[in-house]
Amino acid sequence: MSWVVLIVSGVLEAVWATALGRSEGFTRLWPSVIFGAALLASMGGLAFAMREISTGTAYAVWVGIGASLTVLYAMVFGGETISWIKVLLILGLVGCVVGLKLVDH
């Protein structure tokens, strides 16, 4: 259950990071509200997962999922340039996250 919560929390990290950018310094209401709600849920889920998953592994997986999805979302919808090297680096990051899951005891 902790791994499922951690993955969902990583997805929510991408949500709050994207909403933070769209809030324009907290001057836009709905992106700011989405940021706050996603941040609380993401941090709460990370804290829950850390009860059973080591801090280093949980944090690395959480950040890896959030960073990968944030960049992918920006490439598809936000005007971030797409390049093969960026795609390969994101895949490497995802591979490292999967590796951390596989070696976690």
Residue 101 has pLDDT above 90, yes or no: no
Q: What is the Cβ-side half-sphere exposure of residue 83, based on CA atoms within 13 angstroms?
A: 5
What the block records as the tokens of 57 is 């592994």
Which residues lie below 8 Å from residue 56, measured CB to CB, with a gap of 6+? Answer: none
Decide if 92 contacts 40 (C-beta within 8 A). no
Give pLDDT, residue 18.
97
Instruction: Please report which confidence band the pLDDT of residue 105 belongs to, taking 50, 70 and 90 as the band edges.
Output: low
pTM comes to 0.90
Q: Of residues 22 and 103, which shows the higher confidence score?
A: 22
What gap in Å lies between CA 18 and CA 83, rounded to an integer? 20
CB atoms inside a 10 Å sphere around CB 5: 20
Q: Determine the pLDDT at residue 104.
A: 77
First CA to last CA distance, the chain: 14
- Where in the chain are the domains? 2-103
* Residue 53 and residue 104 in contact, taking contact as beta carbons nearer than 8 Å: yes
pLDDT in tens, 1-51: 999 999 999 999 999 999 999 999 999 999 999 999 999 999 999 999 999
